[in-house]
């Protein structure tokens, strides 16, 4: 099942710099592991915003919830999930 997921990041300005750097490095490693596993199939920056637009390919709602819940940045993000279905006019996919 495919899901479009928008993540809007909102890190507190007074977050300890070392903690922030470690958090971002952990988030990067987590996302790259899921990308290599074929679960996180697109990761795009939204131009001009500290947000990304992603596509996940997972078995079901429960798997997506688990992956998102475990994002190191989860408590600092607003996450919006949109389930995707095949479009009848799509030539690929």
Ligand X SMILES: O=C(O)CC1=CCC(=O)O1
If one asks whether residue 9 binds ligand X (CB under 6 A), the answer comes out as yes
If one asks whether residue 28 binds ligand X (CB under 6 A), the answer comes out as yes
- Tell me the CA distances in angstroms from 28 to 9, 69, 73, 87, 91, one per residue in order: 14, 15, 10, 31, 33
Stretch that binds ligand X, among 12-20, 25-33, 56-64, 80-88 (CB under 6 A): 25-33
Residue (of 13, 22, 7) closest to 74 by Cα position = 7
Stretch that binds ligand X, among 12-20, 24-32, 60-68, 81-89 (CB under 6 A): 24-32
Q: Which is nearer to ligand X, 78 or 84 (CB)?
A: 78
Report the nearest approach of ligand X to the CB of residue 73 (Å): 6
Is 40 buried (19+), middle (13-18) or exposed (0-12) by CB count in 10 A? buried
If one asks whether residue 52 binds ligand X (CB under 6 A), the answer comes out as yes
- Residue that the structure tokens 């903690």 belong to: 19
């Amino acid at each position: 099942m495919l899901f479009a997921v928008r993540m809007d990041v909102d890190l507190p300005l007074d977050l300890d710099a070392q903690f922030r750097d470690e958090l971002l490095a952990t988030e990067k490693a987590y996302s790259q592991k899921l990308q290599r596993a074929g679960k996180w199939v697109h990761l795009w920056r939204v131009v001009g915003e500290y947000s990304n637009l992603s596509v996940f390919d997972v078995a079901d709602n429960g798997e997506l919830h688990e992956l998102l819940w475990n994002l190191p940045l989860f408590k600092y993000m607003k996450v919006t999930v949109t389930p995707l279905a095949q479009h009848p006019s799509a030539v690929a996919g």
